[in-house]
Structure 1
Amino acid sequence: MSPEDIRLIIFTLGVSALAVAVSLPFGLALGWVLARKQWPGKALVETFVMLPLVLPPVVTGLLLLKLFGKKGPLAGLLESTGFEVIFTWKAVVLALAVMAFPLLLRCIRTAFEEVPRHLEEAAATLGKTPWQVFVRVSIPLARRGIAGGLVLGFARALGEFGATMMVAGLIPGVTETLPLAIYRSFHAGDDSRVWMLAGVSAVIAFVALWMAGRLNKGRHPL
């Protein structure tokens, strides 16, 4: 394994971890709201946030490209702040976060649904604010499901290809992740590198799924 391959693996692990870390606050907030609240249009919100699970990844990437590109609705804001996204490592994180979010959210929502309401209500009657109940009761009781969601989201981010290609491009040393490197090496005819990188990806994915399974094993409402 060359130094370039090691850097590639570290980069892929890093942007995947950053993607789920960026998604976590939104996942916690929306997961709790979906698990505990009812409001008009809730089903529409649920459907919308789950779309990346069923849409072709290239379509999701195209939507992100149109949204964050130079002619997109956020172009003026990004230019005024000097914050470039498209075809940078930030675009990689953005694509991975969007693609991983549905799995992360689903696990977190399920985890919050399994938290007994009477424990939250008991904490509230003892004078805890809603925020304190959320931080000190809901999150600790849902921690295994939250951790499982993080691991599954991380695994999904590791394997993302289509959306990343669209919004970040295939720029070696800048935006190239393991799936993109496998694609480039395949078209270059470098079969030995293809199989080496594919093996690394498979091992990482296996470990992530095993960890998620261990975290979710035996999890049930109190």
Structure 2
Amino acid sequence: MQNNRVLIVEDDREIAEMLARTLAEAGLDVRIAADSAEMAVEMRRAPIGLIVLDLMLPGEDGLSICRKLRAESTVPILFLTAVNGEMDRIIGLEIGADDYVTKPFNPREVLARIRSLLRRASYGPGNISNRVLRFDGWRVDPLRRLVHDPNHTRIPMTSAEFDLLLAFCHNPGQVLSREELLSLTHTGLAGPIARSVDVHVSRLRQKIEADPREPKMLITVRLGGYVFTPSVE
């Protein structure tokens, strides 16, 4: 069952309340926190389905919060970033954020991205079988959204990383462009820019490749995209 409880961590009360109204009108259960301390209180009160996280917060910033969250949780994280903060956006994706929106933003766009992330976290990409997949000793369970390595160790993944791996597993040996990967992992809705696909692929390599600097399973195809080389059962 999908958890529609969204926590907005934003110190600008006007922005937080404006976004909260849009999300609430769409039927989401919305909570607001102004900093990491208030966020922790809200997360103890009830399970959170998704976090909208501002990068520039008083005290602990959004990057630090995201890093700590990823050490213990796979909850989807949507960053709110300044329009000129490209490096922060890239770093945010590298440490585990699933998507981002730049300020100023259209609340309806944020809603669309949130719905996409919630759907992915709950069900995964549409029109994909829930049968367990195996490759090179790895095990991918689409229904429970779990990944285990050849030593049977569970490998934590963000929803974006899991969906990328699932898309590759269902298209082994095929060159997938960044646009195709965006479509496969966002079910047709607006998603992050193509650059974020590269970041998520890089993170995925860190988790499944023996040597991420010399990948053998996730190969870059110049001017084409990426190809997943293992046989998948």
State if a TM-score over 0.5 links the two structures: no
| Greater Rg over alpha carbons, structure | 1
Higher relative contact order (CA 8 A, sep 6+): 1
Higher helix proportion: 1
Higher strand proportion: 2
